[in-house]
């Protein structure tokens, strides 16, 4: 079992749809939870981060962390073609940071 599991997709949605991206993890020590967006052949850019459990909202993006279930989610509202990218979840505790394999998302106009 991988330490971080993320459905690789690909996921294709029409413009304006609500997108739900998810990761599960096995290490209960993780404290910081992050979502990165990676465009093709580019480095990942930090989209959102949360500390411990709870929700965080930033514009069209909402990150949720449920530590009891070891489950994190990223919701994208009113998705746009410019949201088409690979989304990586990541989580860390001290020096140990682990990444999901990434979910490839395409938003069709």
User: In angstroms, rounded to a whole number, what is the distance separating the alpha carbons of residues 85 and 27?
Assistant: 27
User: In angstroms, rounded to a whole number, what is the distance separating the alpha carbons of residues 71 and 109?
Assistant: 30
Binding mask 44-63 for other proteins (x = CB under 8 A): xxx--x--------------
109 neighbors 15 (Cβ within 8 angstroms)? yes
Question: Is 18 one of the binding residues for other proteins (CB under 8 A)?
Answer: no
**Considering the complex, what minimum distance in angstroms separates the CB of residue 14 from other proteins?**
26
Question: Is 4 one of the binding residues for other proteins (CB under 8 A)?
Answer: yes
Q: How distant, in Å, are the alpha carbons of 23, 87, 98 from that of 14?
A: 22, 17, 31
Question: Is 25 one of the binding residues for other proteins (CB under 8 A)?
Answer: no
Selected binder of other proteins within 10, 27, 29, 42 (CB under 8 A): 42
User: Which residues are paired to 90 by β-bridges?
Assistant: 34, 99
State the residues that interact with other proteins by CB under 8 A. 2, 4, 6, 8, 32, 34, 36, 41-46, 49, 88, 90, 92, 94-95, 97-102
């Amino acid at each position: 079992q991988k330490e971080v599991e993320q459905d690789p997709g690909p996921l294709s949605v029409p413009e304006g749809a609500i997108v739900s991206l998810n990761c599960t993890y096995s290490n209960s020590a993780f404290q910081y939870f992050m979502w990165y967006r990676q465009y093709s052949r580019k480095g990942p850019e930090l989209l959102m981060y949360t500390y411990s459990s709870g929700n965080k909202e930033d514009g069209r993006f909402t990150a949720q962390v449920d530590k009891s279930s070891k489950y994190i989610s990223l919701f994208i509202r009113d998705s746009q073609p410019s949201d088409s990218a690979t989304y990586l979840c990541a989580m860390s505790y001290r020096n140990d940071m682990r990444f999901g394999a990434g979910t490839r998302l395409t938003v069709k106009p």
